[in-house]
A and B are shown apart, each in its own frame.
Chain A
Amino acid sequence: MIHRYKLNGYNIVLDVYSGSVHVVDDVAYDMIGLYAEKSVAEIVHQIQSTYPDVTREEILECMEDIAALKDAGKLFSKDTYEGVAEHLVKREPVLKALCLHVAHTCDLNCSYCFASQGKYSGERALMSFEVGKRALDFLVENSGSRRNLEVDFFGGEPLCNWEVVKELVAYARSIEKDAGKNFRFTLTTNGMQINDEVIEFANREMHNVVLSLDGRRAVHDRFRVDHAGLGSYDRILPKFKKLVAAREGKGYYMRGTFTHLNTDFTEDILHMADQGFDQLSMEPVVCSPNDPCALTEADLPILYQQYEKLAAEMIQRNKEGRGFTFYHYMIDLGHGPCIYKRIAGCGSGTEYLAVTPWGELYPCHQFVGDPAYSMGNIWDGIQNSALQEKFGKCNAYSRPQCQECWAKLYCSGGCAANAYHTSGDIEGIYEYGCKLFKKRMECAIMVKAAEAEMCEEE
C-alpha cells in the first residue's frame, strides 16, 4: 500500500509497509499513481499527454527507477505483519508503566477537564504513601525482564500531594538497583504550586515534566480558572519559565488543549514559542458533542489548514535558528519504533495501567471512575482478566475500519478510550480523531522531507 500527497510544495509518496518515504517530482508522482493499474504503454501515453516536454526515454527511465524501488521492497511493499499482530495478542502481558493518581483533587476548576475537575466523578482523595509504595512494588513484581519502568505522577493536580510524590521517588530509588530496574518519572502539573523546591526536585528526578498552558492569555484563562473563577495565566507563566530555564535541556512539554472556541490554535502554539518555550504540544479537546467547546465537522478544514500553517512556520523558524518541536511532528524515520510497537500502540490495560488513590487498577487514566473498566487492585492484581484480554487484542489489525488505512502503522489503531467514549466500544474508532491524526502525520513527514532538503543544501 502507498499513500501519495502534495503539501507545501513537496510531492510525497509513503510506502506503508516498509516505512519508506520518497520525495518525487510531478512526473514521478503521476507515474507512481498509475503504476499498479496501467500498462507501460498506457503510462507513457498518459504522461506524454500531461507533460509534452518529457520524452519517452525519460518516462521509461523513471519506470525503471520505480521498478527498482519495488524490487527493493521500498514501494508497493506487501503487508506481512498480520502474524506479528497475532503474536502480540497471544503473549503474556508485561507491565512497564503506571499512571499514579496521587491526587483526585485540583486547585483549578477547568470546565473542559476530562477528569471532572480532578475528581473523576468520585470523591476528592489523596493517595497515601502506603498505597503508592505498594503500587511501585506491584509494578516491579509484574514487569518481568523489562528494565525501564515509567511512573507518571498524575491527577487531578499532583502537587496537591507533593510530599507523597517525593517519598515515592525516594522509595523507588532505594529499590531500583537491587531490582535491576531504571525508574523514569514524569510529572503533569497545572503549575499553580510550583516553587523553587518543586523546580529543584523535578529537575533532578523527573525524566519529563508536562506543564499545562493553553496558549494566549485570553484562550488559557477562558477555561483554566481557579475556584474563585480567576484565570491562572499570569500566575503560572513566570513559574513555567523559571522551571524550564532551570531544566537545562531535560525533557518537558508545554501542553495545551484547543477547542471549538480557538480553532486558530497555531497562534497559541506560536505564542508559547514566542514566550521562549521550545517543546510544545497542543491537543484537540475530546468531550461530549453537545458541549459548546466540542470540535465540529465544520471546524475540520480550519484545523487542517492550521496544522499545515504550523508545519510551514516550523520549517521557517528552524531555518532562522529559532526552531521548536511539536509533539505530533516528532517522528524518527531512521530509528523509529519497531513493528511490534507500531502495531501494539500504547499498551493500555496490559503494559500500562492507572492506579487510583485507593489502589484500584484501570486500563488507563481516561477510564478511571468508570466501574465497568475497573480491572483489579494493587494487592490482588488483575481480577478482570477478560477485560485485560480485550485490551490486549486492541491493535492496528484489530479494527476492520483500519485495514485499508495508510496511517495504521503510525497510530496503532488509535486510542481505545477515545474510541470507547465516542463509539461505545474500545474496538471502535474515533473517526474525527483519525482525520486529524492523518493530517498531522502528513505534515510531520513533510517537515522531515524539508529537513532532509536543508541537510542536502548545507
Chain B
Amino acid sequence: KRIKTIETKDLAKSVENGGCGECQTSCKTPCEKK
C-alpha cells in the first residue's frame, strides 16, 4: 500500500447539508453541527 488516505469531510456533500451559518465567525483570534 503506497497511498494512505486520511479520513476527511466530503466537501462536495456539504453543498447539500451545509450553509446553516451557525458556526463561529472566523477572522482577531469544526462545523457547529459536526
A residues with a Cβ closer than 8 A to B are 17-25, 27-28, 62, 65-66, 69, 73-74, 77, 80-81, 84, 94, 96-97, 99, 146-148, 150, 152, 154, 184, 188, 210, 253, 255, 281, 283, 327, 332-342, 345-347, 351-352, 364-365, 409, 415, 448-449, 452
Q: List 27 A-B contacts (CB under 8 A).
A: A19-B11, A21-B5, A22-B4, A28-B2, A69-B3, A69-B5, A80-B15, A81-B15, A84-B15, A148-B32, A150-B25, A188-B28, A210-B28, A255-B29, A327-B29, A333-B8, A336-B31, A337-B18, A337-B30, A339-B12, A340-B18, A341-B18, A345-B26, A347-B25, A351-B25, A449-B6, A452-B4
Q: Is the CB of A150 within 8 A of B29?
A: no
Which residue of chain B has the shortest Cβ distance to A456 in the bound complex? Answer: B4
Residues of B within 8 A of A253 (CB): 29
A43 smallest CB distance to B (angstroms): 13
Contact among B23, B27, B28 with A337 in the assembled complex (CB-CB below 8 Å): B23
Q: Is the CB of B28 within 8 A of A365?
A: yes
B22 smallest CB distance to A (angstroms): 5
B14 smallest CB distance to A (angstroms): 4
Given contacts A336-B9, A409-B11, contact A346 B25 (CB under 8 A): yes
Q: Is the CB of B3 within 8 A of A65?
A: yes
User: Please, how many angstroms separate the alpha-carbon atoms of A221 and B25 in the complex?
Assistant: 31
Residues of A within 8 A of B3 (CB): 22-25, 28, 62, 65-66, 69
User: Please, how many angstroms separate the alpha-carbon atoms of A352 and B25 in the complex?
Assistant: 7
Report the count of interface residues on B (CB-CB < 8 A). Answer: 30
Which residue of chain A has the shortest Cβ distance to B5 in the bound complex? Answer: A22
Q: Is the CB of A184 within 8 A of B24?
A: yes
Interface SS of chain B: loop
Which residue of chain B has the shortest Cβ distance to A283 in the bound complex? Answer: B29
Contact among A65, A97, A339 with B18 in the assembled complex (CB-CB below 8 Å): A339
B residues with a Cβ closer than 8 A to A are 1-12, 14-15, 17-19, 21-32, 34
User: Please, how many angstroms separate the alpha-carbon atoms of A82 and B34 in the complex?
Assistant: 24
B23 smallest CB distance to A (angstroms): 6
Residues of B within 8 A of A66 (CB): 3
Residues of A within 8 A of B27 (CB): 346, 364, 415
User: Please, how many angstroms separate the alpha-carbon atoms of A74 and B7 in the complex?
Assistant: 11
Q: Is the CB of B12 within 8 A of A80?
A: yes
User: Please, how many angstroms separate the alpha-carbon atoms of A25 and B27 in the complex?
Assistant: 36
User: Please, how many angstroms separate the alpha-carbon atoms of A94 and B25 in the complex?
Assistant: 12
User: Please, how many angstroms separate the alpha-carbon atoms of A352 and B26 in the complex?
Assistant: 10
Q: Is the CB of A334 within 8 A of B15?
A: no
Q: Is the CB of A340 within 8 A of B19?
A: yes
Residues of B within 8 A of A150 (CB): 24-25
Q: Is the CB of A24 within 8 A of B2?
A: yes
Given contacts A339-B14, A346-B26, contact A65 B2 (CB under 8 A): yes
Which residue of chain B has the shortest Cβ distance to A31 in the bound complex? Answer: B2
Contact among A18, A73, A338, A352 with B31 in the assembled complex (CB-CB below 8 Å): A338
Q: Is the CB of A19 within 8 A of B9?
A: yes
Q: Is the CB of A334 within 8 A of B7?
A: yes
A115 smallest CB distance to B (angstroms): 12
User: Please, how many angstroms separate the alpha-carbon atoms of A17 and B29 in the complex?
Assistant: 27
Q: Is the CB of A336 within 8 A of B21?
A: no
Given A19-B8, A99-B28, 13 extra CB contacts under 8 A: A19-B9, A19-B10, A22-B5, A22-B6, A23-B5, A25-B3, A62-B2, A81-B15, A146-B22, A332-B9, A336-B9, A339-B11, A409-B11
B3 smallest CB distance to A (angstroms): 5
Residues of A within 8 A of B7 (CB): 333-334
User: Please, how many angstroms separate the alpha-carbon atoms of A150 and B26 in the complex?
Assistant: 11
